[in-house]
Structure 1
């Protein structure tokens, strides 16, 4: 048996959290990977679906965004259920139900059914992102959160990198097979793949540290003490106290304006590329992968780098600035594919870097059950930006004929998010 000195050594702790990262991260990455694959595929499906179903840009934007109304309404109830039934069962349920609903999108015939299923998918997926943030807060101390968050958030760019070429291939090669259009096969294939992930989640996760049979007794003790130290430092909060904290209100608003930008890219990137003159579905698919590939690299580098005490606020400010400038560039140079794509790439890289640090900062403020409720509230209200963003861009596109004018509005929203974020975390030492 290892001695007490060996158990408490820095080397032992590093090995422990590396072991935990290898065990937990693949499963958590799978959850967010398929969540974002779903959010990307509706953008690619629109290249064919809008014409076949007779949807205007505003109608498509409303359908893409109505997902977040279901998400908003069921987010807090979902996180309460997560605490009661356990992470492994609840995460598996989330993935199973949204996968089935995504596959069902292949059979919509009009805007009404498109709206209804997008709402159902949002309700089914509610709780996934804040649930994972809460789950990590029960396993990982603050000094490791940037590292673990980066491993989790890297699933976002991976999903969008894969989605571009995969969606282009499915929509091109399967178009007309068995009488179904390419966009219908896109929903069937990617919805079916999502359903297959549910068993992996159920059998791959442990609900709590004490239930992890892949950890030794010494490892469990060190891991539990690390989380307990964070709880003691943050102090105890009731649900009501946590929701009334100024940081909660400011974080909700900051995340709302941030996600207006994120979903502007997620839902409209294929059409933003198309308006530069690129018409081939496969070419659009490959070009749309580039911003997310760079974003993935930024997340991997920024997360661990931001873990040093006093560094997160500076990293967050720089990343927000890069994001706002990137959106401005994408609009100003909209007729130049190289410059516009460079701007979108900077925006994607910056916005994911911000998200990684944002949630690491929140983990210092909320603990235990109060963390579950606060994370859900911040994520659900913030994700209403996902409702506003695509609909806003759709309306602007219908009025002006070009989606790029909406990029200026999104750049302004990122600036507002930066101001609110600075105020929310101004007293934080992170």
Structure 2
């Protein structure tokens, strides 16, 4: 990293100068990428709101819904690694644009679902289209930011998950309450149409807005480019895995991957079932359900940013991640214990969402500390692929439990246990690898 005596190209570059440059890069990239992720996640999980009417209209059981929600991740898993490797060849700008446009069009096509088979096929194709998006963005951020600065910027990007709930909850609730039978379409069909249009627009915009690498960024001066390149080159010295083979077979990559699996079990449980859990606590109106889901997601946004800043400032990753997982588990358990008391259940769900969402943003600070180059492209995709398995397991598990017991309680407790296992696994990663300055 730069210090007060560093010169690049003969120019004196102070710490304040470095801060100003990174602030410029952050403001250029993060708002746009954040917005992309908001709609990415919204298009992935809006089926949770559509479920409130879609199941009765089409005669789907809870198990059919759970499998359909989860089969997205079969396509996602199969195409995740190839997608990230293609991005290395064609560049981030082209590939991120392609991902967004195709998934927006497929999400819109959900209006044509009439049978379980068509539901499964379109959810599978949506997973294929979106495969690679998250690791592509995480990899893209490493083209501009060294690993030691990733806590804050990663947290800012991943606040797209809870913010999709903050923005999408009321909007989805309003669509479900107000658009039924407008021009002959059910409200759940309007939900897919209206929430896919911004995704396609953002995908086209990405083609023109993003720069593939520092050297292509016309919005940076030559001194600013030199500073960023210098810090990235210095950052490589602390990384141990570089080759494509490392990204696939190194035990540390697989340790990270299974760690992520346990944390995302909680994430997808919350994402797909939060509206149902709120409904089961006694709230029936779809708009009210949408408004209430804002509370946990807004709190999670603040928690992610604060913990990300603390993680960077203290150069500590493991405890920040493990404690977030424990908080998430306690919150899920509390939501089960007080399932029929709306006020207490919402407080517990808010605590759970804060912890769960923070585990996701904090987890993604770990791989850039260890991986670089082709190993980063492959390893990030492998970790996200393994984690995506939870997207198949968690909703289907909750669907089966709901069908058999008419309650989600037992399934939610299993997800809480997964978070605790993940929190313990964090400490299998040596501190010297991830707590670097």
Same fold (TM over 0.5): yes
- 2:73 alignment partner, one of 64, 68, 86: 68
> Unmatched 5+ residue regions in structure 1?
none
Instruction: Report the alpha carbon displacement of residue 248 of structure 1 after superposing the two structures with TM.
Output: 1.1
- 1:161 alignment partner, one of 147, 163, 166: 166
Q: Which residue of 2 aligns with 1:343?
A: 348
Instruction: Report the alpha carbon displacement of residue 427 of structure 1 after superposing the two structures with TM.
Output: 4.4
- 1:384 alignment partner, one of 367, 374, 389: 389
Instruction: Report the alpha carbon displacement of residue 245 of structure 1 after superposing the two structures with TM.
Output: 2.2
| 1:323 equivalent in alignment to 2:328 | yes
Q: Which residue of 2 aligns with 1:177?
A: 182
> Unmatched 5+ residue regions in structure 2?
1-6
| 1:372 equivalent in alignment to 2:373 | no
Residue deviations 1:297-326, cap 9 Å, x none? 111211111103442222112211101101
Q: Which residue of 2 aligns with 1:289?
A: 294
Return the TM-score normalized by structure 1: 0.97
Residue deviations 1:121-172, cap 9 Å, x none? 0000000000111111111012311111121011111111111100011111
Q: Distance in 2 between matches of 1:108 and 1:334?
A: 32
Q: Which residue of 2 aligns with 1:99?
A: 104
Equivalent residues in 2 for 1:15-414, closer than 5 Å: 15-235=20-240, 237-414=242-419
Q: Distance in 2 between matches of 1:165 and 1:40?
A: 14
Helix, strand or coil: the match of 2:65? helix
Q: Distance in 2 between matches of 1:310 and 1:104?
A: 45
Helix, strand or coil: the match of 1:428? helix
Helix, strand or coil: the match of 1:308? helix
Q: Distance in 1 between matches of 2:275 and 2:241?
A: 46
Return the TM-score normalized by structure 2: 0.95
Q: Distance in 2 between matches of 1:102 and 1:222?
A: 41
Residue deviations 1:5-37, cap 9 Å, x none? 864210000000000001011221122111111
Residue deviations 1:235-270, cap 9 Å, x none? 452221232222211111111111111010100011
Q: 1:272 to 1:375 in 2, by over 3 A?
A: same
Instruction: Report the alpha carbon displacement of residue 180 of structure 1 after superposing the two structures with TM.
Output: 0.7
Q: Which residue of 1 aligns with 2:422?
A: 417
Partners of 1:39 and 1:266 within 8 A in 2: no
